[in-house]
Amino acid sequence: MIEHAITPNLVFDVAHMFAGALVLISFLMLYQDRLYALLNVFALQAVALALAVAWQAYAQDAPHLYVTAGIALVFKALVIPVSLHRMVARLGIHRQVETAVSIGPTMLAGIALVALSMVVMLKATPAAEALAREDLAFALSVVLLGLLMMVTRRNAVSQVVGFMSLENGLILAATGAKGMPLVVEISVAFSVLIAFIVIGIFLFRIRERFDTVDVDALDRFRGGRA
């Protein structure tokens, strides 16, 4: 076991800072009303995730987590946001983020979900280490805020971003709970990449066929056909 020069309290505080940053950035994503800004904030969340995972790799003396951090940095902070920027430009998607619920109630719902996450996880894991317990609470908050984004956004691209934000929370939970085997992490990363490619093709087909990716407009079209 490698002897860490950094004190346990500092390890704890830095891990909390990175995990808390993911929650804060999730709120920033909920607040965005422009599609390009939303994609940029998602890239920032991916950078925060990579830093959080790299710090967990140091704290747990788990070198394989550095690979996970590298995958998050390359794919989620660079490849996917750049690809989505190009997709939005090529599809000619409306740059405004259409919402089903206004920003104010959405932010209040987000605060309630974070409070619920803290209460549930801290009570459900009394025997776990303090660092793992609180990281799991932060991770559940990110997952629920990602779900909230998917529910309150009408544009298919912003819903895809919500799904990928949700997956960031799952990665944080897995690393905070002493990580996953490397093969599982790589498998998850490639599964997300394949899902992203499929979603991209799907969006192109929707835009080509219906001239929109607004889910409300698609529902109206389906109702008209019925």
Residue 161 forms part of a structural domain: yes
pLDDT at res. 214: 52
- pLDDT tens digit at each of 226 positions of the chain: 444 456 767 877 888 899 999 999 999 999 888 888 889 999 999 999 999 989 988 888 888 888 888 888 888 888 888 888 887 777 666 667 777 788 889 899 999 999 998 888 878 777 667 667 788 889 899 999 999 998 888 777 788 888 888 888 888 888 877 655 554 555 555 556 656 665 665 565 555 555 554 545 545 545 555 5
CA 178 remoteness from chain centre:
20
Residue 226 forms part of a structural domain: no
Handedness of CA 121, 71, 191, 199 (dihedral sign): positive
**Domain extent at residue 58:** 8-220
Residue 160 forms part of a structural domain: yes
Residue 107 forms part of a structural domain: yes
pLDDT at res. 4: 47
- Give the CA radius of gyration of the chain: 19
**Which residues lie below 8 Å from residue 129, measured CB to CB, with a gap of 6+?**
none
pLDDT at res. 156: 73
Domain count, the chain: 1
User: What is the 8-class DSSP label of residue 1?
Assistant: -
**In this structure, what token pair is assigned to residue 196?**
């992203």
- The three-state secondary structure class of 125 is coil
- Compute the distance between CA of residue 51 and CA of residue 66 in angstroms, rounded to an integer: 10
Residue 202 forms part of a structural domain: yes
Please, what is the end-to-end C-alpha distance for the chain in angstroms? Answer: 65
pLDDT at res. 199: 64
Q: How wide is the angle at C-alpha 111 spanned by C-alphas 109 and 112, nearest 5°?
A: 65
pLDDT at res. 44: 94
Residue 115, classified by CB atoms within 10 Å of its CB into exposed (0-12), middle (13-18) or buried (19+), is exposed
Residue 2 forms part of a structural domain: no
Which amino acid is residue 155, in one-letter code? N
CA 148 remoteness from chain centre:
11
Residue 225 forms part of a structural domain: no
CB 144 within 8 A of CB 106: no
CB 21 within 8 A of CB 48: yes
Backbone phi, psi, residue 33, to 5°: -120, 10
pTM metric for this prediction? 0.78
Residue 36 forms part of a structural domain: yes
